[in-house]
A = this chain, B = another copy of it.
């Protein structure tokens, strides 16, 4: 069990290391805290904390930096979320409060704002698409050879794509195709829809609307896009600031990964509730072992859960990040509830 003084020292050390980025020595802690003791005493305590595995040295005579275990303990027991300043609160509610927008816009702007406020990399993920149900499908002839396909789901996503038909469009065929889709796909989950698109639908189209066979491929791609769940990421360039000396190759891999829906969803797969922090190796991802990932969920009743996450250095300002993230979580839940239920 750690003594009161040890807790104060550990807390101070992490705070100081986070703000300076340098290993912290006994004297620095002496100055920073209100501890009534000499630097020698603190040195003894530091030595204790090191034996217990909470802190470590970078070399035999250096100051101490927090270890993974130290951060873990700090986050679980010492850290308290920092309150967000009034002016920042206002910005957040201004941007997210205005809900004459599409869900995608809201999520996108959230990511942008979150990365601006934290100076880390922000990730906002919408509810997973697999469980969404198709609620609407329509084809719209824009002119002689352009058709727009629109699909809607019960999770509120609306996806559309314009494509070009080689031949002039036959209105009757459009109706036929629309009917086939509405009949056989609406009401089912997107996973089910994907399956049927492979199996039954091509047959039906060939049978009842053979002229429209060419259209089928294009329509299929709209569905494909809608299944790729929405992910929004912002502040990728901040990685350059908080991860110095990262080599180009690694950076490229990282960027590629951050642009892949699949990888991101895998990352936050088991996140279910509240705040979850994964530090360094805890993330269990080779590219991210020098980073920390702070995640939380926003929840809109039956419409599903989304994830908000901040990717930063292991020496992240966790207290600020938690504070900001908490505001986002609440605001986003609020905005989306209004969006769905109003």
Interface on A for B, CB 8 Å cutoff?
A: 99-102, 136, 140, 142-143, 145-146, 148, 150, 152, 158, 160-166, 214, 217-218, 237, 240-241, 248, 251-252, 255, 339, 342
Give chain B nearest CB distance to A262 CB in angstroms.
19
Residue of B146, B158, B252 touching A162 (CB-CB under 8 A)? B158
Give chain B nearest CB distance to A61 CB in angstroms.
31
Contact, CB under 8 Å: B164 / A102: yes
The distance in angstroms between the C-alpha atoms of A162 and B238, with both chains bound, is 31
Chain B residues with Cβ under 8 A from A255's Cβ? 237
Contact, CB under 8 Å: B99 / A164: yes
Q: Can you pick out 27 interface pairs between chain A and chain B where the beta carbons lie within 8 Å of each other?
A: A100-B164, A100-B165, A100-B214, A100-B217, A101-B163, A101-B164, A102-B162, A102-B163, A102-B164, A136-B142, A136-B143, A140-B140, A140-B150, A142-B150, A142-B152, A142-B158, A145-B342, A148-B150, A158-B162, A160-B162, A164-B339, A166-B342, A237-B251, A237-B252, A237-B255, A240-B248, A240-B252
The distance in angstroms between the C-alpha atoms of A342 and B152, with both chains bound, is 32
The distance in angstroms between the C-alpha atoms of A342 and B214, with both chains bound, is 16
A contact face: mostly helix, strand, loop, or mixed: mixed
The distance in angstroms between the C-alpha atoms of A165 and B166, with both chains bound, is 36
The distance in angstroms between the C-alpha atoms of A102 and B136, with both chains bound, is 23
Residue of B143, B150, B166 touching A152 (CB-CB under 8 A)? B143
Give chain B nearest CB distance to A21 CB in angstroms.
15
Supply 10 further A-B pairs (C-beta < 8 A) apart from A100-B214, A146-B158: A100-B163, A100-B164, A100-B217, A101-B163, A136-B143, A142-B158, A145-B342, A148-B158, A166-B342, A237-B252
The distance in angstroms between the C-alpha atoms of A197 and B342, with both chains bound, is 29
The distance in angstroms between the C-alpha atoms of A136 and B146, with both chains bound, is 12
Q: Which partner residue on chain B sits nearest A244 by CB separation?
A: B248
Give chain B nearest CB distance to A110 CB in angstroms.
17
Give chain B nearest CB distance to A212 CB in angstroms.
13
Contact, CB under 8 Å: A160 / B160: yes
